[in-house]
Structure formats: structure tokens, C-alpha cells
Structure 1
Amino acid sequence: MACGGFNSNQSLVHSLCRFVGETVTVFTKSGGVSGCGFTGVLFGINNDFIQLVTDRGTSPAHPIGGPNSSCCRDLDFDNRRREPFNLGSVCDIPIDKIAAFCHNAV
């Protein structure tokens, strides 16, 4: 994490560090859909990029109990869930491409 080091974007990087772990919206200097902004949890930051978790993955399938327990009735015979898994997504945004950064006031 770059929260201790600074470069030419030191003010922005320093401000962003306060919001790690919170949901934010970042607008970029770009066109098309990417110019509409990215909303997610600010996960990481360094002097060059920020990382937003824009879509969380699915939770573990029944961490307690085995395939024969009553909590696991939605499992197939080969122990896979019937619905598709969502691995989530992470968006890396270059610091120098950030046009606006929005966060909650409190």
C-alpha cells in the first residue's frame, strides 16, 4: 500500500487511503461505459493504481455440515451447488485516470 509514500498524485493518494474498505464511486477520464463511473469497495491502493471490488463472489457452499446434513439439500451428488458460482470482479484503475472520487459524507 502506498499510504505512507507519495508521488505527484500525493494529495489524491493520501485522500483515497482514508476510504480503504468503504464503498466508493470513481469516475475516470474516459469515454463510453467506463466514463459512467465504477462503484465498489476500495480494496487496495498504491502510487499507480487503485483496486475496487466491483462484484463480490459467492459465499462458500455450506461450510458447516457434510453432504448428508440437512443444510446441504441443494447440493448435487458430486457436491457441487446447482446455481452457478460467481467469482466476483476487481477493477484496477490508474491513479492518473481518475477524474472524480465520490464517497459517503459520514
Structure 2
Amino acid sequence: MDNWMCSAKEDLCRYIGQTVTIFTTSGGYSGSGFTGVLISVSDCIVRLLINAGDAPSCPLGSSCSGYRYNYNQSYGCSGNPLGAIAIIPTNSIAAFTHNAI
């Protein structure tokens, strides 16, 4: 690992739990950057929560029958319960941005 990546990893670690944008050396949509909440940083990968899942509409796990919930055949009582995580190889990171606070 070169010196740039060592210092970048240390900088990234300070922003775990905050929203960052990571730009990669790849082309297409991924080269435009990923924005999300920084979850973890390791020597090999960075994980960003780029789309949080919905909160459950039926917190007790009921079938929602007889209640005024938005029941969806595909997902049950909630919307999409899953979020989306971007896993970015650290050797593909070109730059990252964060708020200055």
C-alpha cells in the first residue's frame, strides 16, 4: 500500500458515520462517485450505505389485516426493507469529499 492510500485510509476513518462522496478511477456511473454514509474502512474495501431501507410499517410482525397499513404483496407490511451498500475497493479510490464541519 502506498503512502497516499495510508493517509487516505486514516482520513476516511475519521468520517465513519458521516456522509461522504467517494470518486473512483472506474468509468461510467461509478466514476461519477458514490454518496452515502461511511460504514467501514479496511485495507481492501470501503463500505458506504447509499440507500437506507424503510422502517417497518408493522413493527409487531402482524399480517396488517384489519389495519390501515400500506400492505405490499412483495414486501409484506413495509416498503423495501433492504437498503443498498456500495463496496468500493480501496485501490479504486481517486478522491473523496466530506463536509467541512
TM tier, smaller: 0.7 to 0.9
Aligned to 2:43, the other structure's residue is in SS state coil
Q: 1:93 aligns with which of 77, 82, 88?
A: 88
Alignment of 1:5-44 (within 5 A): 7-8=1-2, 9-44=5-40
- Structure 1 stretches of 5 or more lacking a match? 1-6
User: Contact (CA 8 Å) 2:56, 2:81: kept in 1 or not?
Assistant: no
Deviation at 1:61?
A: 2.2
Q: Distance in 1 between matches of 2:65 and 2:91?
A: 53
- TM-score, normalised by the number of residues in structure 1: 0.76
Residues 88, 73 of structure 1: CA spacing in aligned structure 2 closer, same or farther, 3 A cutoff?
Answer: same
Q: Distance in 1 between matches of 2:17 and 2:58?
A: 26
CA shift digits 1:44-102 (9 cap, x unpaired)? 11111100000001112232696578xx41155x9x32x64241100010111111100
- Structure 2 stretches of 5 or more lacking a match? none
Q: Distance in 2 between matches of 1:30 and 1:65?
A: 42
- After superposing on structure 2, the runs of 4+ consecutive aligned residues of structure 1 that deviate more than 3 Å are 64-69
Point out the structure with max Rg over C-alpha.
1
- TM-score, normalised by the number of residues in structure 2: 0.80
Using the aligned pairs only, state the percent identity.
Answer: 40
